[in-house]
């Protein structure tokens, strides 16, 4: 078959180098999230960029297993504060924010990961406080001992948790426990996450990536290519079906409710980067 539509590592490694460092060995691709080679600071450019980045990884036939990890001592625990001003979130909330950014991007981003045809190992190297799907919607999930999970939509920002976490944590924790986690601002440590079934193994930080590579080689690359890919397809299919059924409604709820939340104020406690509790009765947005 013609390879005219395939992608090449050298090309997409350069294209997405601002937030992904990529290296490949024997068909195993390690994708490391970063900002300036430090822990990733989440912004709207990364949010959108992950969609074509995962498509490029998927369209490269030399990739047979993906290891997704972060940089330093955090997986995804910080926002790029100036990014929100770049996109006008300190100004009146419009359809550009609610649809073109929130709805349009987040109804595609989880599927960019779920539609990968190769197995994915998440090596969670520290706290994960936003977009937990990147950590938890994977075939094998490993966590370092310093990892904790926090869901800040409701507790931190005071907005509807509709970007897929309503589905993710309900399925992983059960309906009542999942709602408790979404609403109560709990920080769940790595060992509790393992005991509850969110992660498979908890490791010292200096052993995390080595273990991910070991699993990639012994569990996945030791098997036939077709068996590997179709086993991935079979085991991830329930997540595809759930997100197809629930994500679009969830993001419609979240995006609509955000019209009553923004614009953001410059004062502490109302900045999305703070992820702290906010009392809407005493904090008013800038006019």
Instruction: Kindly tell me if the per-residue pLDDT of 268 is higher than 60.
Output: no
Least trusted range by pLDDT, from 31-35, 75-79, 236-240: 75-79
| pLDDT of 266 higher than 70 | no
**Which candidate, 150, 212, 137, places its Cα nearest to that of 181?**
150
Residue 232 CA, distance from chain mean position: 19
pTM: 0.92
SS3 assignment, position 129: coil
Our measurement of the distance from residue 38's CA atom to the centroid of its chain's CA atoms, rounded to an integer in Å, reads: 17
Q: Which domains does the chain have, with CATH numbers?
A: 9-258 (3.90.226.10)
Residue 56 pLDDT > 60: yes
Percent share of the chain, pLDDT over 70 = 90
Q: Yes or no: say if 268 and 95 are a contact pair by the CB < 8 Å rule.
A: no
Q: Is 1 exposed, middle or buried (0-12, 13-18, 19+ CB in 10 A)?
A: exposed
What's the pLDDT score for residue 277?
39
Q: What average pLDDT score do residues 147-159 get?
A: 90
pLDDT value at residue 83: 85
**How confident is the model at residue 158, as a pLDDT?**
83
Question: For residue 141, what pLDDT is reported?
Answer: 99
Most confident of 54-58, 83-87, 98-102: 54-58
pLDDT higher for 2 or 255?
Answer: 255
Confidence class for position 10, pLDDT limits 50, 70, 90: very high
- The residue annotated as part of the active site, out of 30, 64, 78, 133, is 133
Query: Among 179, 161, 160, 158, which Cα is nearest to 169's?
Result: 179
Which pLDDT score is estimated for 263?
Answer: 65
pLDDT in tens, 68-91: 999 999 999 998 888 888 888 888
Torsion of CA 184, 190, 195, 198, to 10 degrees: 70
Task: Judge whether residue 284 has pLDDT over 80.
Answer: no
Task: Give the position of tokens 């599927």.
Answer: 111
Residue 196 has pLDDT above 90, yes or no: yes
Q: What is the pLDDT of residues 16-31, one digit of tens each?
A: 999 999 999 999 999 9
Cβ pair 205, 125 in contact under 8 A: yes
The pLDDT value recorded for residue 82 is 86
Return mean pLDDT, the chain: 91
* pLDDT number for residue 259: 87
133 is catalytic: yes
Least confident of 6-20, 50-64, 78-92, 184-198: 78-92
Quote the pLDDT of residue 272: 57
Tell me the H-state helices in the chain. Answer: 9-15, 44-58, 81-86, 95, 104-106, 109-114, 133-136, 152, 165-173, 175-184, 190-196, 205-215, 225-258
Full DSSP string of 141-193: EEEETT-EE--HIIIII-S---SSHHHHHHHHH-HHHHHHHHHH---EEHHHH
Place 276 in a pLDDT band, splitting at 50, 70 and 90. Answer: very low
Indicate whether 220 pLDDT > 60.
Answer: yes
């Amino acid at each position: 078959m013609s390879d005219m539509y395939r992608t090449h590592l050298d090309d997409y490694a350069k294209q997405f180098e601002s937030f992904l460092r990529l290296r490949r060995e024997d068909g195993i691709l390690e994708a490391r999230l970063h900002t300036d080679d430090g822990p990733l600071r989440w912004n709207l450019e990364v949010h959108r960029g992950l969609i074509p980045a995962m498509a490029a990884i998927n369209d490269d036939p030399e990739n047979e297993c993906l290891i997704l990890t972060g940089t330093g001592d955090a997986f995804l625990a910080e926002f790029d504060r100036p990014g929100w001003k770049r996109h006008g979130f300190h100004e009146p909330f419009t359809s550009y924010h609610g649809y073109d950014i929130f709805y349009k991007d987040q109804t595609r981003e989880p599927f960019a990961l779920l539609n990968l045809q190769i197995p994915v190992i998440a090596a969670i190297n520290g706290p994960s406080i936003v977009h937990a799907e990147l950590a938890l919607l994977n075939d094998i999930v490993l966590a370092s001992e310093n990892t904790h999970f926090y869901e800040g939509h409701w507790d931190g920002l005071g907005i509807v948790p509709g970007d897929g976490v309503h589905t993710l944590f309900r399925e992983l924790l059960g309906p009542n426990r999942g709602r408790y986690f979404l609403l109560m601002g709990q920080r769940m440590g790595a060992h509790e996450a393992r005991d509850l079934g969110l992660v498979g193994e908890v490791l010292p930080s200096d052993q995390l990536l080595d273990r991910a590579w070991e699993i990639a080689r012994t569990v996945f690359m030791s098997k036939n290519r077709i068996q590997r890919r179709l086993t991935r397809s079979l085991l991830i299919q329930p997540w595809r079906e759930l997100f197809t059924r629930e994500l679009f409604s969830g993001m419609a709820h979240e995006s609509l409710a955000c019209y009553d939340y923004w614009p953001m104020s410059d004062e502490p406690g109302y900045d999305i980067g703070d992820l702290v509790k906010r009392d809407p009765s005493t904090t008013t947005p800038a006019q």
